[in-house]
Structure 1
Amino acid sequence: MENQLAKSTEERTFQYQDSLPSLPVPSLEESLKKYLESVKPFANEEEYKNTEAIVWKFQNGIGEKLQQKLLQRAKGRRNWLEEWWLNVAYLDVRIPSQLNVNFGGPASHIEHYWPPKEGTQLERGSISLWHNLNYWQLLRKEKLAVEKVGNTPLDMNQFRMLFSTCKIPGITRDSIINYFRTESEGHSPSHLAVLCRGRVFVFDVMHEGYLMTAPEIQRQLTYIQKKCHSEPDGPGVAALTTEERTRWAKAREYLISLNPENLTILEKIQSSLLVFCLDDDSPHVTPEDYSQVSAKILNGDPTVRWGDKSYNLIAFSNGVFGSNCDHAPFDAMVLVKVCYYVDENILENEGRWKGSEKVRDIPVPEELVFTVDEKVLNDINQAKAQYFKQVSDLQLVVYAFTSFGKKLTKEKQLHPDTFIQLALQLAYYRLHGRSLLNLSRIFSILVSRLFICDSILISRFWIIFTIIIWNSLSEYIMRNAGLEEAQAGIKIAGRNINNLTYADDTTLLAESEEELKKSLLMKVKVESEKVGLKLNIQKTKITASSPIASWKIDGETVETVADFIFLGSKITTDGACSHEIKRRLLLGRKVMTNLDSILKSRDITLPTKVHLVKAMVFPVVMYGCESWMRESLGLQGDPTSSS
């Protein structure tokens, strides 16, 4: 019943791990060059030049020493970055994991054979579990096909972290423990943990050397559910995993100090293949709208989610499924692979179990009962309180977009991820009237699996592409507005100039207020709205060489200013260059201050210092000097501009 995704091959899943190349350390020059390229979309000309000066100082100062330390570190590790990334991105983070770090999502089974239906939770759950456990066996036997780019194998290490993996809370830093072993490596845990109404159960999925069948798994789940529904709820120790990490670490230490058996219970949960969550909720879901079920997967009952487990498989009362996973051990694409495998097999078998209906004489599940006291119960209640406070602030909408998919974007020679990132940018712009270029809010995770240990990289270089797209869109708007043919504008050397565009700034120029407003600005506004862009009145400024009346557009007043910065120069209404000269001298002084330690250094020769000043200070001071005498040449007409 294995599908094409996990077809048995002669190659072993992890056979290339030892032969994968180590992660190289890029040269200092290469790193700094890429850094400067990534800064360009975020900085104006002045800021960029200042950044260049800082980068140059770093490169010729402490940068080389740090580069040597990196090279030394790389000699003793196959992946010099992995540990740092895990610590900074996940293990040192102290905020609660479940709503801030974990990822999750709904299963798509509802789109074919498993629409929401009460009374199907256990039957469907046993089938879903059986397919998940088959995937575990493929990994154990190393029969999962090695992923490749062409003939080059990719790192498969993260697949080892899917099963029998758990994050352990620490006072200042968490840790990850992985119990999974392949058959050639030795024994690996084969028990499953089940959470139901605040109680914890485990049972072994192997019996007499063979994997349990779906009916046998259903029998175990039925036993657990009947017991929980006929007896009082458990204390819900799992809710502690939703706490702030240091508080959870301290609560865990106290729990272990109460009774050594509590540590044994924790280790059984930690080493379990996965946690199967029997959730009494019955969230609404349709093939078009996954919002409510997605929210419940992320912020549902905290007593039936073990937030630190690498894999929580959630079964809702209406036979709908989803997953909630700790992000530290693996990237979401690992879960996507197993979910796709399970869904394909459910589809192939028409949502039914087609194997033997026989149920062998199997031991009933074991309940794991924690020893708790008043303090532990108080800790659990506090954990629930902070969890539900966070939940109240979570807004989530998940709609299925069915108009087209990645096939169409690829046909248009646009990568699906790039398309989505651009769509996010456009949506933000339409909603807020401004672009979002804050790296802490938008970044793309890249997985460099050509090297050992899935080195994770954060990329913002696609933002440069976003700006290129923005410029193309701006040109499209100007062309449709008819600005090239418009008579409005100012005459320079016999040519009519009515607009100047740089990055995301557009300046319109005209010889009269009437021309500017009616012939240029309003046309641009109309064409912008046709492509979903809105003129941001708060960022629109007017500069004129003579007094003009107050402007209003859509009821908002447009600000009139005496000067503004364009292409790095200060433009004033009187056309005088003295303001810009003074500004340039101050900028030059700032650069000199940044170079102060270098210029005072006795290790650098005087000729080198002179070259530095000529290369880094003079260009800043003299930028645009060819236009400083323009007021003596005179300007025709009465130029008015909008920027």
Structure 2
Amino acid sequence: MAEAHQAVAFQFTVTPDGIDLRLSHEALKQICLSGLHSWKKKFIRFKNGIITGVFPASPSSWLIVVVGVMSSTYLKVDPSLGMIARINRTLDTTACMSCQTKNVVSGVLFGTGLWVALIVTMRYSLKVLLSYHGWIFAEHGKMSRATKIWMSMVKIFSGRKPMLYSFQTSLPRLPVPAVEDTVSRYLESVRPLMKEADFQRMTVLAQDFAVNLGPKLQWYLKLKSWWATNYVSDWWEEYIYLRGRGPLMVNSNYYAMEMLYITPSHIQAARAGNTIHAILLYRRKLDREEIKPIRLLGSTIPLCSAQWERLFNTSRIPGEETDTIQHLKDSKHIVVYHRGRYFKVWLYHSGRLLKPRELEQQMQRILDDPSEPQPGEAKLAALTAADRVPWAKCRQAYFRSGKNKQSLDAVEKAAFFVTLDETEQGYRPEDPEASMDSYAKSLLHGQCFDRWFDKSITFIVFRNGKMGINAEHSWADAPIVGHLWEYVMSTDCYQLGYAEDGHCKGDINPSIPCPTRLQWDIPEECQQVIETSLNSANLLASDVDIYSFPFDSFGKGLIKKCRTSPDAFIQLALQLAHYKDMGKFCLTYEASMTRLFREGRTETVRSCSMESCSFVLAMVDPSQTVEHRLRLFKAASEKHQHLYRLAMTGAGIDRHLFCLYVVSKYLAVDSPFLKEVLSEPWRLSTSQTPQQQVELFDFDRNPDHVSSGGGFGPVADDGYGVSYIIVGENFIHFHISSKLSSPETDSHRFGRHLKQAMADIIALFSCTANSKK
């Protein structure tokens, strides 16, 4: 109980001679350092608020403007066109300033007003410039003179050394597409998937909607787009994520793996110590807004950074009708799960972050702790893995007071959740398929009770030192977690490193208090709900079929030599693989981002098009020539890139129709067209994990340091979920998921078709190159 003694700042006893007061100097020191830490963070936030508030100018520019104005007045030059004189006459009425003081005050006031006006003008000008998206539709590698001039203007108005949130107020709003355009694009997207009679019926429904109900719903949506920052994001978060009553595990949460072939240390506690410290370094950079905003087109066009705000100190709180997201500005602890026990670990000591070796020491103390789980504690997190309503009712009934509330608060208010897993995972050369599938399934669902699926991120470290992340989806999209994960992997491997014996560098610190066991008092009734939730979660987890595999026959280096987009190449390979697997086409979802706009999240690219279907049919027809297939491939690739660009620039289909549907529900009007559109299943759901910080990794010097990316569960009961990451020039990693209960799907079978499809398409270009030679 050493930590309990340190928590008491002073003790006193009453004696015949008076009160004997005994102070704990160490406790008072820790209180003082904690206060200093809090005030330091407040000051940094205040300073960053000022810097971001005056962007694209800087606070020092105020002094330059004011000094310039004052200098010109002393030189008998009036830059204000009489404004300074008017301010001076107004100050005359106060009769409490000397003439010289009034001149100075008048100059400072005018200079400040001029400075504010310049800031507003620059910010509005930048917003107008960023509203132009013609550059994205230009042919790759070709840039017009007008676009170059526009880029130069954007760079001029973007200021120097922008912080993470500097561009937020300068980003344009997401535009609302015309109803006629969205309906037309929708009909075009479903044309290859419907029989003629079904398509004619859908055309009638769509045209009736575009003429009658659509304009009425559109009026309300336009009104929202003028009033709200983003007309989609709040409804998307609310109705797609938070109001979902099904399990988060498998259905919503996703996972991220680490480097495929490299494990810097096989000591579990050491790996946890280094990577937790790296995560905390990233959080400190985030708190100070030192993370550079993501910018496209040669670090010119900024993307929205709003999703970073809830990366840490965030938890999803269950409710009977809808969940809520709880986010704290700061959290000084994490909660660690190991062998059915929960431990609270403080992240600071003596006013500083714990060092990697000290964190390793804390993790080792947890691993060495021989205590047993309390009744109901071991499988408590199964509540977060199953349906939301039982968890919400259970939380309301059994976690509202006492030690249960204190312990649950510790979990939900932690910076993030950590699991020290008892299994060994990762790539094994002697059995690559089984090892990678097991690794993926462990990160996606584990044992259904050893990850806290409500936390924004659950960091998992396996017994053999391999690690990964399970992330909740409602608060942000995968690129945000991916950005953190790239930083953590590179910092762990290249900057922090390990000693020769595999432990973290540095020395242990015996003075750090031991981790604290969280205490629970879980009644029998609650334990029954936990068991029921666990049974439900186990059924869901056991039905998941995942095939995770590296593809290293070729990568984007060779694909680019074929003068095509790597993403379009892979999407067309997926269409070909699906047709070979199922013998038919299906509605295909590819996630695209809309972060060119303020608070943008995602849009859908409907990858299955008339052009892609024509190409696939030509590929499976042995009578077609290579030249004909290549022409169809080029047309399909260009079509896909055009659809992707439309989605990125706010001209997508599905988010607009989704919001129109929400408005129709608010107005209590029924739309057969919208109802049918939103009930269509996505039997092929795909997503690319972007690599955003290529400069952190040198694949020429370290070719084995490739990341496996991450994946997600199947979206449809009879469909596939496919995620892929393109790493370096010669490596692509795929994650394919489906349900074992479906007689139509098989993840490994689809994977084999995908490998063959990739080879068949690249062979088209090889045949052409050989014929030219």
Structure 1 residues 470 and 431: alpha-carbon distance in aligned structure 2, compared to 1, 3 A threshold: closer
Shift of 1:421: 2.5
Q: Which one has a bigger Cα radius of gyration?
A: 1
| Aligned mate of 1:250, from 393, 413, 416 | 393
Distance 2:511 2:231 in 1: 51
- 1:40 and 2:181 aligned: no
- 1:171 and 2:313 aligned: no
Distance 1:312 1:463 in 2: 38
- 1:344 and 2:486 aligned: no
Distance 1:25 1:217 in 2: 49
- 1:124 and 2:271 aligned: yes
Distance 2:463 2:263 in 1: 16
- 1:156 and 2:297 aligned: no
1:384 partner letter: L
Distance 2:494 2:320 in 1: 47
1:424 partner letter: L
Residue of structure 1 equivalent to 2:579? 429
Residue of structure 2 equivalent to 1:93? 244
- 1:193-232 Cα shifts (integer Å, max 9, x gaps): 11112221122212233211001111111222222x3434
Residue of structure 1 equivalent to 2:382? 239
TM-score normalized with structure 1 length: 0.67
Structure 1 residues 419 and 161: alpha-carbon distance in aligned structure 2, compared to 1, 3 A threshold: farther
Residue of structure 2 equivalent to 1:102? 253
Distance 1:284 1:324 in 2: 15
Residue of structure 1 equivalent to 2:345? 203
1:111 partner letter: Y
Distance 2:617 2:387 in 1: 44
- 1:392 and 2:542 aligned: yes
Work out whether residues 197 and 236 of structure 1, in 8 Å CA contact, stay in contact via their aligned partners in 2: no
Distance 1:338 1:481 in 2: 44
| Aligned mate of 1:328, from 456, 474, 479 | 474
- 1:292 and 2:438 aligned: yes
| Aligned mate of 2:564, from 411, 414, 418 | 414
Work out whether residues 179 and 218 of structure 2, in 8 Å CA contact, stay in contact via their aligned partners in 1: yes
More helix per residue: 1 or 2? 2
Q: Secondary structure at the match of 2:187?
A: helix
Q: Secondary structure at the match of 2:176?
A: coil
Distance 1:241 1:481 in 2: 54
- 1:74 and 2:200 aligned: no
Distance 1:32 1:252 in 2: 44
Residue of structure 2 equivalent to 1:222? 364
Q: Secondary structure at the match of 2:475?
A: coil
Residue of structure 2 equivalent to 1:547? none
Residue of structure 2 equivalent to 1:624? none
- 1:142 and 2:289 aligned: yes
Which is worse superposed, 210-219 or 54-63?
54-63
| Aligned mate of 1:193, from 335, 359, 365 | 335
Distance 1:45 1:292 in 2: 44
Distance 1:198 1:272 in 2: 18
| Aligned mate of 1:303, from 438, 449, 462 | 449
Work out whether residues 382 and 448 of structure 2, in 8 Å CA contact, stay in contact via their aligned partners in 1: yes
- 1:315-340 Cα shifts (integer Å, max 9, x gaps): 11111111111111121122222221
Which is worse superposed, 264-273 or 77-86?
264-273
Aligned length: 460
| Aligned mate of 2:422, from 280, 288, 301 | 280
2:313 partner letter: S
Distance 2:382 2:600 in 1: 31
Distance 1:155 1:342 in 2: 22
Residue of structure 2 equivalent to 1:374? 524
Work out whether residues 318 and 392 of structure 2, in 8 Å CA contact, stay in contact via their aligned partners in 1: yes
Distance 1:94 1:226 in 2: 38
Structure 1 residues 33 and 248: alpha-carbon distance in aligned structure 2, compared to 1, 3 A threshold: same
Structure 1 residues 252 and 426: alpha-carbon distance in aligned structure 2, compared to 1, 3 A threshold: same
2:282 partner letter: Y
- 1:316 and 2:478 aligned: no
- 1:454 and 2:596 aligned: no
Work out whether residues 575 and 616 of structure 2, in 8 Å CA contact, stay in contact via their aligned partners in 1: no
User: Which aligned pairs between 1:242-641 and structure 2 lie closer than 5 A?
Assistant: 242-257=385-400, 259-283=401-425, 285-286=427-428, 288-289=432-433, 290-349=436-495, 351-352=497-498, 356-357=506-507, 359=509, 361-432=511-582, 434-437=583-586, 439=587, 442-470=588-616, 472-473=618-619, 477-479=623-625
Structure 1 residues 408 and 88: alpha-carbon distance in aligned structure 2, compared to 1, 3 A threshold: farther
Q: Secondary structure at the match of 2:616?
A: helix
Q: Secondary structure at the match of 1:14?
A: coil
Structure 1 residues 465 and 132: alpha-carbon distance in aligned structure 2, compared to 1, 3 A threshold: farther
Structure 1 residues 480 and 341: alpha-carbon distance in aligned structure 2, compared to 1, 3 A threshold: closer
Distance 1:474 1:393 in 2: 32
Structure 1 residues 347 and 222: alpha-carbon distance in aligned structure 2, compared to 1, 3 A threshold: closer
1:317 partner letter: R
Shift of 1:113: 4.3
Shift of 1:191: 1.3
1:379 partner letter: V
Distance 1:18 1:251 in 2: 42
1:231 partner letter: E
Distance 1:93 1:113 in 2: 37
Q: Secondary structure at the match of 1:160?
A: helix
Work out whether residues 477 and 601 of structure 2, in 8 Å CA contact, stay in contact via their aligned partners in 1: no
Residue of structure 2 equivalent to 1:629? none
Work out whether residues 422 and 466 of structure 1, in 8 Å CA contact, stay in contact via their aligned partners in 2: yes
Q: Which runs of 5+ in 1 are unaligned?
A: 1-8, 182-187, 483-502, 505-593, 595-643
Work out whether residues 362 and 515 of structure 2, in 8 Å CA contact, stay in contact via their aligned partners in 1: yes
Identity %, equivalent residues:
28
Structure 1 residues 138 and 459: alpha-carbon distance in aligned structure 2, compared to 1, 3 A threshold: same
What is the RMSD computed on CA atoms of the aligned residues?
2.7
- 1:112 and 2:269 aligned: no
Structure 1 residues 226 and 381: alpha-carbon distance in aligned structure 2, compared to 1, 3 A threshold: same
TM-score normalized with structure 2 length: 0.56
Structure 1 residues 410 and 435: alpha-carbon distance in aligned structure 2, compared to 1, 3 A threshold: farther
